[in-house]
Structure 1
């Protein structure tokens, strides 16, 4: 079996020390489940299934089912106190094809819905030659999930009456009430709010890569706001050309990530650098250098009204399958990361801390 890796994140922002053990446990659980799939279920029809897509969607769905991550159950609430989720998934095997949902209510696992949209496009044109959607938003996304036979396994609200309160956890409700009280007093939200979007990246034993991301969005967002997790080239990216493999999943303030096209630019940086080098020299292009460059103020200017960057990236890079680089970079106080690979016996999960917010924190390991 060739090398493989599955890696997940529970966002960049601030992770309270009292919750670190819970984050580590759920990230390890997600990695183990995906690793089992990668090593035991090897035979997929290349025309309809992608093992890396299955692993990524499985890992993210486990993170979505936790009430302390900002995705699926327990997502941040909108100004009106409801849950609206964004998610997307990109397949390197299918030439960067992606599926996504934005501002969807009533769907417990938005990442599975995004995956089914991707697969449905692979099945070809609809009746009368209708082009199938790559992205669905709002009520249309919910109705698609509710009515399409291939989405029957996804937990979903069965009626409009269930939409408003669906996926609203007690924890999210308490946080929402606290923020609403402070907002009424015209107080700013402090850094204890983590942008804990979840995501996953994978390179399967066949060398195919995939990336996904799922988010409830920022706390007190306006209804209808769609963040980076649903947008092509921003929330996640997966690309494979010849011997080049790259996948990344982003977290943080969606507007920062969208404005700077973070995910796609990471891939462009690495691919262009590798393409300009001979095979013998290409190993000198390192992923940590790429993340530091893309997250620099010079390369990714801030939005005019933002006082600080709030971005995190989890990425993998492989060239000629000789080795896989796994790296994470972030500009916030902390980022939660977990991974498991063909060279590790157990899942490794941790919260990385940034002691100086003046600098970008970058970590890297080789698989």
Structure 2
């Protein structure tokens, strides 16, 4: 009986260790977004619709190829976001929106779910790929978050590709700024257009069960006074933790910051997993000596997709209740992925070893 008790305690110890790493190895998943907002069919021409779907497809396949071939989730999300930063259809990199003063400033963040290491930048102006700069902050500096001229200086010292600020400009974004200024002059202080969507992001789990998340944006058209949204804020717009999930957000950043949306989703997933695992273990029948007849290991257990969707929807509903809007993409250690958004549409895509690749724009897709 003593031997049986030792065996049981040993098994429970190893089960507890496994609980910290619930990932199902051998599966990969990639989920991407290109922003959420008033994205409706009558707002996009057929050509714009086609261009955006092509851009999302290119980004999704870039990251998928890395994951499919055994690459890391960190490499996959960085490469995916870089593709979108170079595409003027999105509010990131080339095609980012203008500040009130007519400049372009970038925010980006990245996080490794294995170690919870993170890097972020805000107000960078010369780096072609802000997401790569965020990763360098994580790997090559003692800090998590750099801003403005300091971020630019660090980028140059790291030898990252530099471009003139005008390289990021597009006519469409200039027209949006001018329309906002004209509305302000006319006294329409509540004027709104498609200024908020376009932020890009990617979340992934690789074949080794490691998770990562990244987000990149130009912020909000006409932003002033050094405004910073949620995209570069770890825990608000980006978060990754192998024990829970990886999240990238897009929308009205002030509200995502107040709720801590990305971290809140990950925490709720992690807690629910631990609760369900405990319930499963408690339901195991005992033999005559009071020893469990079998053991439920964390690696053999996971949350259903419906649980993930419910949690993401609930956190966004809380954020919406405060007055915010937007969306999130989520990948889990169990190889599942999901979207949740409170807006009419969100540019999005998903692929995986057990998920057929798909691209969508509108809410009814």
Query: Does the aligned pair in 1 maintain the 2:70–2:207 contact within 8 Å?
Result: no
The answer for the alignment partner of 1:67 in structure 2 is 88
Does the 8 Å contact 1:85/1:215 carry over to 2? Answer: yes
**2:196 touches 2:221 (CA, 8 Å); kept in 1?**
no
Offset at 1:265?
Answer: 0.4
Q: Confirm or deny: 8 A CA contact 2:176 2:195 kept in the other structure.
A: no
| Among 11, 36, 44, the residue aligned to 2:65 | 36
Indicate if the aligned counterparts of 2:29 and 2:336 stay in contact, CA closer than 8 A. no
User: Is the partner of 2:224 in helix, strand or coil?
Assistant: coil
Q: Deviations over 1:171-213 (max 9, x none)?
A: 2112212221122112232344342211000111111000010
RMSD: 2.0
SS at match of 1:24: helix
Q: Structure 1, residues 244-290: CA drift from partner, whole Å, max 9, x if none?
A: x4111000011010011000000111111111122648535711110
Matched, 1:17 2:37: no
Unaligned runs of 5+ in 2: 1-24, 281-300
The alignment of Structure 1 onto Structure 2 pairs a total of residues equal to 313
Q: How does 1:110-149 map to 2 (within 5 A)?
A: 110-121=130-141, 132-148=142-158
Aligned partner of 2:338 in structure 1 is: 327
Show CA shifts across 1:86-123 (max 9, x none). Answer: 100010112x11000011111121001001111214xx
Query: Which residue of structure 2 lines up, in the alignment, with residue 221 of structure 1?
Result: 223
Query: What is the SS of the residue equivalent to 2:63?
Result: helix
Which runs of structure 2 are paired with 1:163-242 in the superposition (5 Å)? 163=165, 165-187=166-188, 188-241=190-243
State the distance in 2 between where 1:169 and 1:223 align. 23
Alignment deviations for residues 295-329 of structure 1 (CA, whole Å, 9 cap, x no partner): 224x7641xxxxx42121111223xx4xx221111
Asked whether 1:352 is paired with 2:351, we answer no
Name the structure with the higher helix share: 2
Match of residue 99, structure 2, among 78, 99, 104: 78
| 2:267 match | 268
Cα deviation code 1:204-261 (max 9, x no counterpart): 11110000100100110014211111112111111013xxx41110000110100110
Within 5 Å, give how 1:269-288 maps onto structure 2: 269-278=268-277, 280=280, 283=303, 286-288=307-309
Change in CA separation of 1:206 and 1:86 when aligned onto 2, cut-off 3 Å: same
